[in-house]
Amino acid sequence: MSKRRALALTRMRNARGYTTFLGWPLAFLLISLGAIAAVWWWLGIPVNLVRAPIDPNDKIQCISYAPFRSHQTSLSQATQVSREQIAEDLAELAKISDCIRTYATDLGLDQIPELAAKVGLKVIQGIFLDKDRRKNLTQISTAVRLAREYPETIIALVVGNETLLRKDITASDLAATIRSVKAQVSVPVTYADVWEFWLSNRELYDAVDFVTIHILPYWENVPIPAERAAAHVDTIRRQIAAAFPGKEIFIGEIGWPSGGRMRESALPSRVNQARVVSEILDLAKREHFRANLFEAYDEAWKREIEGTVGGSWGLFDSEQRKLKYPPGVPVCNFPLWKLQMCSGWALAALVFGAAWLTLRREPRRPSLVSWLAVGISAATAGILFGVAAQEVFYQSNGAGGWLLWGLLLVATTASPVFSATALMSGRTLPSFLDVLGPKHNRTGSVLVIMHGLALIVVTVIGTATALGLVFDPRFIDFPFAALTMAAVPFAAVTLLNPSQKGTRPMAESLFAGVFFGAAVYVGFNEGPANWQSLWTCAAYTVLAVTLWRVRAWQW
């Protein structure tokens, strides 16, 4: 064989090898992009309900209204809602309802009856009672005055809202207060509370003109899934009617959250909210009972004390004051799914781009399994990025909240990118000591430092969520999307590029123990029906195993 022919054959073999080398990564990239597109297309499928939540030809009987926007909160006496703000809201509510229910008379809410009268809305006027007796007297006197000034607008007074539930007043004192108010007005007077408290405080029956109960299937002691919510409401209404014969049973609050954490099988979502609202309205129409929807507008301020779910009960969004479910438009859990899909594509491309750039700087032949791990990490991150980013928007309250959850999103987004460089270069997952240890232990590589910082941020914030779900879980969202974006690539690095030497660092071991313990406890505490909990516990477990496998060099 001539020298020229041998050189040609070598070039052909190299070309075939290079083509094979590029072929698999390209195939994995295309598969990842396809998986992202398929999942987001599925998530974005709209649902056409038999009965629309908002029917332009059939107004809602009544709906709860609180005018607070942005940073306004009922917890601060400095809050004063303007007439213009209330008038703007009531003009919109008059298009979909004949009646609104309010809860207090302070903070500018005493302007509501006058403005409601101008747009033809009836008002069920609330009187907020708590442990402050002086404030209670002011609430009562204002409500009595309004009932006398607007007899054609205010159709009932609600003396106290879940006051017994909060243990702010005794049942006997509450009954005396109700009778005192009744003696001063000509409109019907009632008290509103969760339905169980009416059964355990039957002495209120004689004091009220009608019985107002709250039935919130999501918040029941045994949460009711959305598909059974309407049947549950009907069962409870009949039970209360049998216990209190001769008086109207008014459902003062009924609704479903459009976002937030699951409780057992009760899943907050836009589709489920629209479904529950439409089915309850249909039930009320068929069975001829009055029901008040909770509520008109999302109350963003409640997220600070009740998590995402607390600020997600409205039919209108908090900021733009627009209907979530315009008439004739199918309902979708992810109305921005195309944008979320495209952002996922961009992140997946970035992950593969980081892997290719690493090989250009450090030429080597990574295994097919390493490229498969890059593809899985890219697809996982691309699918979940849109979900995680949406959660940041709803979970963040104030500068501290935006900093915390924004930092977690940045770290989890960076995790698959830096892990891809590690998979291609054969580098192990850095330990905390590589980044934060004594100077002689720290790495000099910028990539390793960034990779380690991402691991530290995910570990610390992830641990905070784990401890929250163990000790005070009621209002804490499950961070399954963000944690999975980081857990998968971190685990891939420790599995394919394990540390051969070094000692098991104490910090990583302690965090691993917390994650594993939290996964076991939260999984049992939340129950097998809660897929958000199970998914989060799986992410905690993967992070625990990953941290346990980390090794640190001691120089």
pLDDT of the residue at 7: 47
Residue 290 tokens, joined: 């009055």
Please give the pLDDT value at position 443: 74
Ramachandran region, residue 128 (left: φ > 0; alpha: ψ -120 to 50; beta: rest): beta
- Residue 361: the pLDDT is 85
Please give the pLDDT value at position 48.
85
Q: What is the pLDDT of residue 207?
A: 96
- pLDDT reported for residue 116: 98
Q: What percent of the chain clears pLDDT 90, i.e. is strictly above it?
A: 80
Q: How far apart are CA 334 and CA 44, in angstroms?
A: 6
Q: What is the chain's pLDDT, residue by residue, as a tens digit (555 residues)?
A: 555 554 444 444 444 444 445 678 899 999 999 999 999 999 999 988 877 788 878 899 999 999 999 888 888 888 899 999 999 999 999 999 999 999 999 999 999 999 999 999 999 999 999 999 999 999 999 999 999 999 999 999 999 999 999 999 999 999 999 999 999 999 999 999 999 999 999 999 999 999 999 999 999 999 999 999 999 999 999 999 999 999 999 999 999 999 999 999 999 999 999 999 999 999 999 999 999 999 999 998 999 889 999 999 999 999 899 999 988 889 999 999 999 999 999 999 999 999 999 988 877 788 899 999 999 999 999 999 999 999 998 888 878 889 999 999 999 999 999 999 999 999 999 999 888 888 777 777 889 999 999 999 999 999 999 999 999 999 999 999 999 999 999 999 999 998 877 788 899 999 999 999 999 999 999 999 999 999 999 999 999 999 999 987 654
Can you say how many angstroms the Cα of residue 543 is from the centroid of all Cα atoms in its chain?
23
d(CA 350, CA 221) in angstroms, rounded, equals 46
Q: What is the average pLDDT score of the chain? A: 92
Nearest-5° angle of CA 66, CA 71, CA 77? Answer: 70
Q: Which residues of 382-396 are buried (b: 16+ CB within 10 A; e: fewer)?
A: bbbbbbbbebbebbb
- Domain borders along the chain are 24-44+335-549, 62-310
* pTM of the shown model: 0.91
Q: What is the DSSP letter of 294?
A: S
Residue 56: helix, strand or coil by DSSP? Answer: coil
Please report which residue ranges of 426-496 form alpha helices under DSSP H: 432-436, 446-471, 480-496
User: Which are the contacts of 255, defined by CB distance < 8 A and separation ≥ 6?
Assistant: 216, 273, 276, 277, 293, 294, 295, 313
Task: Provide the sign of the torsion angle of the four alpha carbons 517, 519, 522, 528, taken in this order.
Answer: negative
pLDDT for res 16: 45
pLDDT score at 56: 74
According to the model, what pLDDT value does residue 14 have?
45
Please give the CATH topology (third level) of the domain spanning 62-310. TIM Barrel (3.20.20)
Taking phi over 0 as left and psi of -120 to 50 as alpha, with beta for the rest, 250 belongs to beta
Pairing outcome for strands 291-293 and 249-254: parallel
Q: For residue 9, how many other CB atoms are within 10 A of its CB?
A: 11
Give per-residue pLDDT as tens, 422-478: 999 999 999 998 888 887 777 778 899 999 999 999 999 999 999 999 999 999 999
DSSP for 140-201?
HHHHHHHHHH-TTTEEEEEEEESTTTTTSS-HHHHHHHHHHHHTT-SS-EEEEEEHHHHHT-
pLDDT at 554: 53
| Rounded Cα gap, residues 52 and 315, in angstroms | 12
Q: Give the per-residue pLDDT at 345.
A: 98
pLDDT digits (tens, 9 = 90+) for 365-424: 888 999 999 999 999 999 999 999 999 988 888 788 899 999 999 999 999 999 999 999
Question: Which amino acid is present at 353?
Answer: G
pLDDT value at residue 10 = 47
